[in-house]
Structures are given as C-alpha cells and as structure tokens.
Structure 1
Amino acid sequence: MVPHLVTALTGPINELEQRILESMPAIERWFRLEWMEHTPPFYSSVDIRNAGFKLAPVDTDLFPGGFNNLTPDMLPLAVQAAMAAIEKICPEAKNLLLVPEPHLLSKKFYLMNLQRLVQIFSLAGLNVRLGMLDDRQTDASTLDLPDGSHLEVEPLLRTKRRLGLKNFDPCTILLNTDLSAGVPKVLEDLHEQYLLPPLHAGWSQRRKSRHFQAYEEVAKKFAKLLGMDPWLINPMHTQCGEVDWQQPQGLDCVRSNVDALLTKIRRKHKEYGINEKPFVVVKADDGPSGLGLMTVRDAKELDEPGFRERHMAITGGQPTGEVIIQEGVPTYERMNEAVAEPVVCMIDRYVVGGFYRIHADRGIDQSLNAPGASFVPLAFAESHHLPRPGEKPGVSAPNRFYMYGVIGRLAMLAAAYELEATDPNAEVYE
C-alpha cells in the first residue's frame, strides 16, 4: 500500500527518483566507502517528508520505537542486520540486556515494540532480558501485551564495574530510553561491556542542530555525486541558544533567524517555480520530536499576543532553552485522505523496513508525531523490496521505498558523523 501524492509539483521528485535509480551502483558504492570510514548507529529511525518538490528527513531517532509497525515479511532482514551489528561489536556475545523507557511501560504500543526487539535479537542468537531503569523497582514484574503474551522486566543489578540482572551478566547493553532527563549513575563507568547507543547519543547531550549540520555536509557530498542541488534533500536550518521567552529581547535571535530562513526558502521556491507559502518550524534543540513544535510563516507572528506563552511549551515550560529553526517541509502524501509520512527503520547500516505515520487531525505543515497518530507498515506489493530501474518514476512502490531508504541512510550517516564529533572519549590530534 503506497499513499498517493496529492500535488502537481511532482516534477523535481520524479526527476530525483530517476536520477537515484540510474545512479544506484554509484550510490551503493559511495555508502560502502563511507561505512569503511564511519561507524553507523546501532539502530535508528528517520522521519521523512515528501513535498513533491522536495524529499527530506525532519527527525532522526537514535533510540527508536515502532519496530512493531514493521511488516512480518521484513523480520528476516532485521534479524540478519542484528546479527551483523552484534558480530562487529561483540562476536562472542551470548547475553543482551535491553533497557526500556520507564515512563512508556504502561503504553501497549511501546510494549509491542519491546516484544519485537526481543524477538529480533533472540532470533539473532542472543539471550535477551529486560532491565528496569528505576531505583524503586526491587522485584521483577510481568507486563501483559495485547496479544495475550507477556514480558518480564527485572531490576538492574550494578556491581563495581558491570551492569546486569540477577544471574545474568550481559556482554552488550542496548538502551531503548532516550536519556532526556540525564544520564543515570548506574549507566556510567562500565568496563568491558558495550553500551549502545553511547551515552552522548542521549537527548541530555544531543542537539538537533548538530545532527542537521552533519546532515547538510552529507547531503552536499551526495548531491555532488549525483550532480544535483542538495536543497532537494536537505531542510535548511539555523539555531538560537538559550532563548529567554519571558523577555521581549529574548526573541530577537528567533525573530531574525526566522526572517532570514524564510527569505532563503522563498528564493529557492522562486528558483524552482514553486507557488507555495514557505514556513519554518521552531522546536527545542534537544528532546524527542513532536514536542512543542510551532509553525511560523511570518516573523511578525512572534510578536502576537500570547505567542510567547505558547512557545514556552517548546522548552517544556522553562523560561529559557535552546531552539532550532528548521525549514518546514510539507507532506503531500495521503492514506485514506489522512496526512501521512514515511518512517524508515534501520539496524546497523541496513534498512530493515519502515511504516507510514498517519494523522487524520493534522495538516500538511504540522508534526504527525502526536497523540492520535496511527501506523501502517510499508507493505511491498511484490515479494521482494529491490528497486526496479527502468520503470516510470512515481508509480513503483519498490522504487519509492528504495528512494526513502537512501534518504534514511543519508540521515543515519549524518548521525554517525554527529556521534563521532561529539564523542567525549575521542582522541583529538593537533
């Protein structure tokens, strides 16, 4: 099932799809060479927007949920990717400790995501157990899933040098919690254990602006390879540090950057003959996507009554905070008349599937990562997911999904750049 693209502005994207398909051998070789130099995140998911005139990532999650939304047909791919990832890190691995997000354990959809992760890594040949990141939990607890199955979550057991569970000493610890509230002491100073993703990938230290700065670098390299304009796949952005929402002058940085970015977007729209009013999205530079996003079409909106109070939601009600101002990429994909956006899921350097996030109550310029969203697997009409060079652009599901996978992998590569640049343990050479 492929959503239809409700826009006449499909020319640039159809041309992009054609160019990507024609350049497939060069693209795959380019990725292969990049992965010889850079280590991919252990797993990731990327939200993508298809505007018809532009195809770009808008968020990259390094502690992804949503694996339960993948079609069962994609499970073998996920298992193979998990095997490859584990073999690179800890070939003799026997035990894997999976640490979930504590505040989501009451959510059925999240439990199903955990169940799928346990399934993937069990089939990859690991003993998988769940450890609760909560000092108050002293006993194991059983969590009921909608399908009648159960998951057991046990209290973590920290020794001087290692982290595990009672009678369970893992080689690898896989975090599925984004560390927004900071790094718990229990995860620090571990020895001879692999902690994935690394602590500096958590939202207490990570910044969206750093990621999209790295993505801009990746997009320029890729665009040079294909002989195209990087803007077609890159959402422009800028950043403001420590905005004080309670002071009139506190918005000066936001106001000037919104105005400058809107001017750049208008220039690009004029270049490509796009008759659309541009917009930017103002959001917290840290923290999960979907929280506190605000759409701005004119810098004057920043001076409207009540605007400042609404925008404090961006920083969780705090009077100050860092923000990223990002080019708004509308989504013109629809499924059953509801707005849709593709999400690409990856383990190691491999695309293992994806799904459409759908929201009937949201507009083309709003975040779909909000309560009320539903999910549909990227279901392939054929028994395989390989692209089909030579077919007419815009009509083939495998070709569309291959193009999404390329964009997802570009964002994943940017995350690799980002994590290398922010690694506190990296050696610095003068």
Structure 2
Amino acid sequence: MVPHLTTALTGPINELEQRILESMPAIERWFRLEWMEHTPPFYTSVDLRNAGFKLAPVDTNLFPGGFNNLTADMLPLSVQAAMAAIEKICPEAKNLLLIPENHTRNTFYLSNVATLKRIFTQAGLNVRLGTLDPDVTEPTALNLADGSSLTVEPLVRNRGRLGLKDFDPCTILLNNDLSAGVPRVLEHLHEQYLLPPLHAGWALRRKSQHFKAYEEVAKKFSKLLGMDPWLIHPMSVPVEGVDFSEGQGLEALQAQVDLVLSKTRKKYKEYGINEKPFAVIKPDAGTYGMGVMTVRDAKELVDLNRRSRNKMSVIKDGQEVHQVLVQEGVVTHERVNDAVAEPVVYMMDRYVVGGFYRIHADRGADENLNAPGSSFVPLAFAQSSQLPRPGEKPGASAPNRFYMYGVIARLAMLAASYELELTDPEAEVYA
C-alpha cells in the first residue's frame, strides 16, 4: 500500500528524491566507505517524518520491537542480514540467547520476539529465551495470539558467562532496552558477545548524543549531494534540570523552545513554506513514545495542567524525567486510508530489511503517532527497497520513494554507530 501524499508532487521532497536517485552510485560507495571505518549497530529501527518539504528521522531505536509487523516477504532478507551480522561477530556461533523485555505478557510484543526467534533459527542458530524478570524462576510458557507459545527461562550466571540451564551461548541478543537500569547479571561477561552493548540501553544512552552525531552525518552526506542538510535534519537541543511535577526548569525549557521555533521559522521563510512551526519535547532517554509533547508556542508550558505535568514527568519503568530534548517538529503529510502515517524502516547489520507505516486515525499531522491507538501497515515493497527504478519521475514510484526512506534511515543508523563509538566506556580516549 502506497500512502497518499497530501502535498503536491512538486517541490523540495521530489527534488531531494531526484537528487538521491541520480546520486545512487556515489551514495552507495559513500556508505560502503563509511562502513569500512564504523561498525553498524546489530539491528535498528528508524521513525521518519515526510513533510513534503523535508524528510528526517525523529527517533532511532537500537532495541527494535515490531519485527512481527514486517511481511513474510521481508523475512528472507532479514535472515540473510542476520547471517551476515553473526558471521562478522562470531562465525562459529551455535547458540543464541535472546533476552526480551520483562513485560512479556503483551501479545503484540511476544509476536515480535517469536519473529526474531524465527529469523535467527533460520540463520542457523539454536535460539532460547532468557528473562531478566526475577519472578520467573522456572521455564514458563507464554501464549501468543495465534495459539502458539514461547518459553522463557531464568538466566544462569556461572562466573563470567551468562546462559540458561544446560545452554551456554556464544552470543547474547538484547531485545530489552534497559530503561530501568543495567542489571549486574549482564556486566563483565567473559568471551561472550552482548548485542547491542550495554551503553546502547536507555540507562546510559541519550537522544541528544544521537542527534548530535546525526547532524554530523547529515552535513557530510549533504556535502556529497550539494544540498542543505536541514532538508534531512531536525534541529535539536537538550535541556537539563527539568522537573515537570514541581514546575522547575521550565523557564530554561521555554527559552530553548523559543529558539528552536525561531530557527524553524527562518527556514520556513527561506523555503517559502506556509506551515506553522512547532517543537516536540521528549525525554532525552526513553522509548515507547512516552512523555512526548507537541508545543506551538513556548507560552503553552506556563499553563500545563496537572495531568500534562504527570504525563511528562514519569516514563517507562517509572523513570523520572529531568533531561529533555527539544526537537524541531516535522509535520507528516502522508496518509493511509485517511489516517496520518509515518514510515518506520527496519535494518539489521547495514542492510535495510523492511518496514511499515505507523498510522493513527486520532492524531494530527504534527503529533506523536507512537501512542495507544496506533496501528501498522506494511510498506509495499514491490521490490527490495535497495533497488530503485531510475528514470521514473519523482513521487511516481513506490520503490523510489522507499529507496529514499532507506537512505535516510541508514544515515540515522550510521549516526548511531558514531554515537556508540563516542560513548563506549571501554574505548580508548586520546587527548
């Protein structure tokens, strides 16, 4: 299913698409050279927003759920990418321990875990599930919506190695974003590969670091294509010392919202864009779309009611919010069945393996769609997203549009690679 773009099929987004298609050999060579210098995250999903005049990532997830939303046609590519990733890390790998989120009664999330297990089993690994949940003390069956089940088992730590009873894995794959902190059982593992690394989890990771790295990547890429990096980059600024429940730090937050709105206004004027700028305030560490607010005027922060303050002050696993990211809002002008939509692209190793549209019938084009009530429509990959159709007019071909999505998503994945290198606590730091 191809979304209906409410913007006219002329203007910057089509110029960007055309430029990306014409530059495909240079782009793929550029990515190839970057991946010679940097290691891609093991798997990644990227939320994109297509405004019709700019296309930018607004969230990059290093512990993606939602693999169950990929179509069956996309799974062979996922299996191939999984093979490539495992071969680079541990070629002799036989056993894989998959550690999911603790809230594993969520049947939608369990379907994601089942899909991951299927992918890695087909990649030639024995896959078993271990849980960080201390309440699980014996193998426990969890029922899926389709009538099948998964078994999760308590973790067993034996000196420097982590596994299950009678199961010693070479590789441990986290599908748990560590929002509640880094469990001691995962620290100081000996001769086992933990993917992604601990500092990729929300206990340590910050969105502001990611978007700072993305800005660097966007500038490099835009120089290659001879274009304005703003067309693919959302301006972002972190604000510390915020306490919504007590009303502390809101003046500093207002100042940064004003700054982002002012800069956005200038860009809109430069490009003749007739839209009202907005900013998005989100936790600097966090996921599941929790604690996200759309602001069109900094004065709105003065009149926050108690419910809004509570929503912004505590997120997943009861974590309090004291540092936020103020990000230039990117409107979405995509629709699926008249519902607001945004593309989400999935990658494993350095390959795009699929994606879907997140749609929300009750949300506006300038609102967060990652919220209760959202649903998912698979991207219509008539061909691989890596195989555009040169020569077709911009906006006329789904594969061309999806190739462009894949390019921007890979830029965000590359930024995540930069970010993980810079924040690696074990990396050598040179003065």
For normalisation by structure 2, the TM-score amounts to 0.96
Counterpart of 1:310?
A: 308
Residues 342 and 354, structure 1, Cα contact 8 Å, conserved in 2: yes
**Partner of residue 49, structure 1:** 49
Whether 1:27 and 2:27 are equivalent positions in the alignment is yes
Give the aligned partner of residue 282 of structure 2: 283
Q: Which residue of 2 aligns with 1:174?
A: 173
Partner SS state of residue 214, structure 1: helix
**1:363-412: per-residue Cα shift (whole Å, max 9, x none)?**
11111111111111112235886100110000101001100000110000
Q: Which residue of 1 aligns with 2:79?
A: 79
Report the Cα distance in structure 2 between the residues aligned to 1:303 and 1:385, rounded to whole angstroms: 47
Distance in 2 of aligned mates of 1:33 and 1:262:
36
Match of 2:230 in 1: 231
Q: Separation in 1 of the partners of 2:228 and 2:234?
A: 12
Return the letter of the residue paired with 2:96.
Answer: L
Equivalent residue number for residue 267 of structure 2: 268
Aligned 8 A contact 2:385 2:402 in 1: no
Corresponding residue number in structure 2 for 1:60 = 60
**Is structure 2 residue 254 aligned with structure 1 residue 243?**
no
Corresponding residue of 1:214: 213
Q: Which amino acid aligns with 2:61?
A: D
In structure 2, the residue matched to 1:380 is 381
Decide whether aligned partners of structure 1 residues 47 and 384 sit closer, same or farther in structure 2, where only a CA change above 3 A counts.
closer
Q: Is the 8 A contact 1:242 1:320 kept in 2?
A: no
Distance 1:141 1:275, change over 3 A: same
State how far apart, in whole Å, the 1-side matches of 2:410 and 2:313 are: 29
* Structure 1: gaps spanning 5 or more residues: none
AA aligned opposite 1:18 = Q
CA distance in 2, matches of 1:297, 1:135: 44
* 1:114-164 superposed Cα distances (whole Å, 9 cap, x missing partner): 111011101111000000111221110111222222211111111111000
Q: Once structures 1 and 2 are overlaid, which stretch shifts more, 317-326 or 268-277?
A: 317-326
Structure 2's unaligned 5+ residue stretches are none
* 1:8 counterpart SS class: coil
Seen in structure 2, the aligned counterparts of structure 1 residues 111 and 248 have a Cα distance that, compared at 3 Å, is closer
Displacement, 1:350?
A: 0.4
Residue-pair matches, total = 428
Identity %: 73
**Aligned partners of 2:366 and 2:343: how far apart in 1?**
15
SS of the aligned residue for 2:151 comes to strand
Quote the Cα distance in structure 2 between the aligned partners of 1:411 and 1:10: 26
Q: Which moved more, 1:214-223 or 1:144-153?
A: 144-153
Partners of 1:202 and 1:239 in 2: CA distance: 18
Residue 252 of structure 1: how far off its partner (Å): 1.7
Question: Could you tell me whether the CA contact under 8 Å between 2:243 and 2:313 is conserved in 1?
Answer: no
Letter in 2 for 1:22: E
2:354–2:385 contact (8 Å) kept in structure 1: no
